[in-house]
């Protein structure tokens, strides 16, 4: 068995195996890094780490278009259900579930989860990351998070084929902390995300890759639209 990992820009990745695809944090509309539009996405599952607009993005539309299951922490999943997504699967941190396309376990992410509009700010529970298993490959999708001791625990408990980590600073761990996280995780492949989309999250992904490689680990930059084997 094997799986592929595709980068869609910013914090959006999808993983595919056995003819099934799960997309994570599909922010495509108004995403300057995206090369596809929401209506082009074909998938079986939509995983949403938290409600911020650069993560919830087009998730509701994509889930509806594909009759895909939407997986998120409880409050966010219920919110999406009330927006018309028929198939939602609410979960919470530490919980895992086996779907017909793969297995997901929610991980701690030190961050918030809210929808901010001109009229109101709605808090939607906890932010999360994901451990996704498809095609016997295990991916750690960190989501938006600070560097934290939980990441060391995740590295110790799991034989990770790949890890995707934010490096953009300001809202998440920055490059220095992401290098420490990569060492803690020791994944077969480390890929940076959540950088350069906006002025306030500028970071050099090639510097990140060089520094992770200097620790004896495999790392690479993925370009939006690129898909690789795991
Ligand atoms: Ni966020
Ligand atoms: Mn974000």
| Predicted pLDDT at 215 | 98
Q: Decide if 228 is inside a domain.
A: no
d(CA 152, CA 134): 23
Q: Decide if 199 is inside a domain.
A: yes
Q: Decide if 85 is inside a domain.
A: yes
CA 191 / ligand 2 centre spacing (Å) = 16
Tell me the ligand closest to 124's alpha carbon: 1
Q: Decide if 75 is inside a domain.
A: yes
Task: State yes or no: pLDDT of 1 exceeds 90.
Answer: no
Tell me the ligand closest to 166's alpha carbon: 2
CA 179 / ligand 1 centre spacing (Å) = 20
Q: Decide if 229 is inside a domain.
A: no
Tell me the ligand closest to 27's alpha carbon: 2
CB atoms within 10 A of CB 9: 21
d(CA 140, CA 128): 11
CA 38 / ligand 2 centre spacing (Å) = 18
Domain span at residue 98? 4-223
Residues with CB under 5 A from ligand 2 (ion): 54, 144
First to last CA, the chain: 10
Tell me the ligand closest to 54's alpha carbon: 2
CA 55 / ligand 1 centre spacing (Å) = 7
Q: Decide if 69 is inside a domain.
A: yes
The angle that helices 175-185 and 205-213 make with each other, rounded to 10 degrees, is 40
Instruction: Encode pLDDT of 71-117 as tens digits.
Output: 999 999 999 999 999 999 999 999 999 999 999 999 999 999 999 99
Q: What is the mean pLDDT of the chain?
A: 98
Q: CB-based contacts of 181: which residues, under 8 Å, 6+ apart?
A: 142, 147, 151, 163, 165, 173
CB atoms within 10 A of CB 177: 19
Record the tokens describing residue 32, joined without a space. 């300057």
CA 1 / ligand 2 centre spacing (Å) = 32
CA 52 / ligand 1 centre spacing (Å) = 5
Q: What is the 3-state secondary structure (H, E, C) of the chain?
A: CCCEEEEEECCEEEEEECCEEEEECCCCCCCCCCCCCHHHCCCCEEECCCCCHHHHCCHHHHHHHHCCEEEEEHHHHHHHHHCCCCCEEEECCCCEEECCCCEEEEEECCCCCEEECCCCEEECCCCEEEEEEECCEEEEECCCCCCCHHHHHHHHHCCCCEEEEECECCCCCEHHHHHHHHHHHCCCCEEEECCCCCHHHCCCHHHHHHHHHCCCCCECCCCCCCEEEC
Q: Decide if 180 is inside a domain.
A: yes
Tell me the ligand closest to 168's alpha carbon: 2
CA 143 / ligand 2 centre spacing (Å) = 8
User: Where residue 36 falls among pLDDT bands split at 50, 70, 90?
Assistant: very high
Instruction: Encode pLDDT of 55-75 as tens digits.
Output: 999 999 999 999 999 999 999
Number of structural domains, the chain? 1
Tell me the ligand closest to 169's alpha carbon: 2
Instruction: Encode pLDDT of 120-178 as tens digits.
Output: 999 999 999 999 999 999 999 999 999 999 999 999 999 999 999 999 999 999 999 99
CA 158 / ligand 1 centre spacing (Å) = 25
Q: Decide if 213 is inside a domain.
A: yes
Residue 175: CATH number of its domain: 3.60.15.10
CA 172 / ligand 2 centre spacing (Å) = 7
- Using a 10 angstrom Cβ sphere, with 0-12 exposed, 13-18 middle and 19 or more buried, the burial of residue 229 is exposed
CA 184 / ligand 1 centre spacing (Å) = 22
- Using a 10 angstrom Cβ sphere, with 0-12 exposed, 13-18 middle and 19 or more buried, the burial of residue 196 is middle
């Amino acid at each position: 068995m094997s799986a592929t990992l595709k980068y869609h820009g910013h914090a959006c990745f999808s993983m595919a195996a056995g003819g099934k695809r799960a997309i994570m944090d599909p922010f495509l509309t108004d995403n300057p890094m995206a090369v596809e539009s929401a209506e082009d996405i074909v998938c079986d599952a939509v995983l949403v780490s938290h409600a911020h607009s650069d993560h919830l993005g087009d998730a509701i539309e994509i889930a509806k278009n594909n009759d895909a299951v939407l997986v998120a922490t409880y409050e966010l999943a219920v919110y999406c259900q009330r927006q018309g997504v028929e198939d939602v699967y609410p979960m919470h941190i530490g919980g895992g579930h086996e779907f017909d396309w793969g297995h997901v376990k929610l991980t701690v992410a030190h961050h918030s989860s809210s929808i901010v509009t001109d009229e109101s700010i709605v808090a939607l529970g906890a932010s999360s990351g994901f451990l996704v298993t498809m095609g016997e490959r295990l991916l750690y999708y960190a989501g938006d998070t600070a560097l934290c001791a939980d990441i060391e625990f995740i590295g110790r408990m799991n034989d990770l084929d790949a890890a995707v980590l934010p490096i953009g600073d300001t809202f998440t761990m920055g490059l220095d902390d992401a290098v420490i996280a990569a060492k803690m995780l020791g994944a077969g492949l480390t890929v940076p995300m959540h950088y350069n989309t906006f002025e306030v999250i500028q970071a050099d992904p090639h510097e990140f890759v060089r520094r992770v490689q200097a620790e004896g680990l495999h790392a690479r930059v993925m370009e939006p639209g690129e898909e690789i084997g795991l």
